[in-house]
Structure 1
Amino acid sequence: MSDQPTSPLDNAPEEVKLAVDLIYLLETNEIDPEIALKAINIVKNDLENKLFSHK
């Protein structure tokens, strides 16, 4: 049995874990929120294009 404390993230869905990692990355690098949102939109469009092109 492990005595390590558990985090609420341990049982979180993968997308929540990724979101937390991305927020941490943006905050620790002091990325301007407006720039981050623009970049996220670019990434979202790219990922959607990849999803639709594989169908």
Structure 2
Amino acid sequence: MNNDLNQAPTYVKLAVDLIMVLEQSDVSPEEVLQALEIVKSDYTNKLAVEQK
């Protein structure tokens, strides 16, 4: 599996890293999802600015 991950796209590697960090934290799934909504919104805005 590790070799498969090495060959995976960058966004998949990032997702795996984020999941590992979040699983190590003492935060409820609900709070994680709330935080991810904020992160998604922030990056959606950054993408919109870049595309202008």
Same-fold call, TM cutoff 0.5: yes
User: RMSD over aligned Cα, in angstroms?
Assistant: 1.2
Query: Hey, what does 1:39 align to over in structure 2?
Result: 35
Query: Which letter maps to 2:5?
Result: L
Deviations 1:6-37 (A, max 9, x none): 52101001011000000000001132110000
TM-score by length of 1: 0.81
Number of residues of Structure 1 aligned to a counterpart in Structure 2 = 50
TM-score by length of 2: 0.85
Q: Identify the match of residue 19 of structure 1 among 15, 32, 44.
A: 15
**Structure 1: 4+ residue segments shifted above 2 A:** none
